Amino acid sequence: MRASEIAVRTENLVKRFGDFVAVDDVSLVVPRGEIFGFLGPNGAGKSTTIRILCGLLSPTEGRAVVNGFDVAERPEAVKQSIGYMSQKFSLYDDLTVEENIEFFSGVYGVPREKRAERAEYALRMAGLADQRRAMTRSLAGGWKQRLALGCAILHEPPIVFLDEPTSGVDPIARRRFWDLIYDMAAGGATVFVSTHYMEEAEYCHRLALMHRGRVVALGAPAELRAAEGPAATMDDVFITSIEREEAGAR
């Protein structure tokens, strides 16, 4: 695969906090246009890896390249070329929907002549055109997440990182959010998404199963299930992968 076709590459990525190893020897290649998933429980290392890839943390060892930029050498260039939606709701409750969009247009450097067009796009995408003057605090969780996604892609980034974007919202809102992810990928964006919901794994083109900072399985969901048997579920894949990893560490 040519370098120009790769959105994200990590090589033996490690992140330590004192004696604690949060990310342990993670190597990945994510081609452009792919929906790539990180699946694992809280504390598996998903968020830490994403924060490294977004230029928010420096790796302790190894290398990560995002959109052609080394995250350790050019973190600001990485930040400018991606969209990032954090695990915690990052918008401002005391602003209206429209004011949040206007604020983040400035943060992401959207040219002034394009801001009105991009704002209308974000409102339509989030389904909030009729609530543009509503206070953000009044929105239900699913609508807040859609607004946060709209703000994260105002500058039309080629790569979008979504850290557990559907955590805490109901199943219908989760499925609608994934419709938006598919729309982004269909438009050519690379979407890197983390989740602890097993059913969401099936929505990804490929995924990495993480446990204690390590990738314990990697591949397309159907391939991973097939390797465990015709009736295997993603729960079976995850449990078996963890057992193999722990047996190998003994």
- Cα–Cα distances in angstroms (integers) from residue 158 to residues 80, 114, 124, in the given order: 11, 17, 20
Question: What domains are there in the chain, each with its CATH number?
Answer: 1-10+17-81+159-250 (3.40.50.300), 90-157 (no CATH)
Cα Rg of the chain, angstroms: 18
Low-confidence ranges of the chain (pLDDT < 70): 89, 249-250
Q: Which of 38, 41, 31 has its CA nearest to residue 52?
A: 38
Per-residue pLDDT at 97: 96
Write down the pTM of the prediction.
0.92
Per-residue pLDDT at 123: 94
pLDDT digits over 67-102, tens only? Answer: 999 999 999 999 999 999 987 767 899 999 999 999
Tell me the percentage of the chain whose pLDDT exceeds 90.
70
How far is it, in rounded angstroms, from Cα 66 to Cα 85? 16
pLDDT digits over 166-175, tens only? Answer: 887 788 888 8
How far is it, in rounded angstroms, from Cα 122 to Cα 116? 10
Q: Which of 234, 164, 154, 153 has its CA nearest to residue 193?
A: 164
Per-residue pLDDT at 229: 86
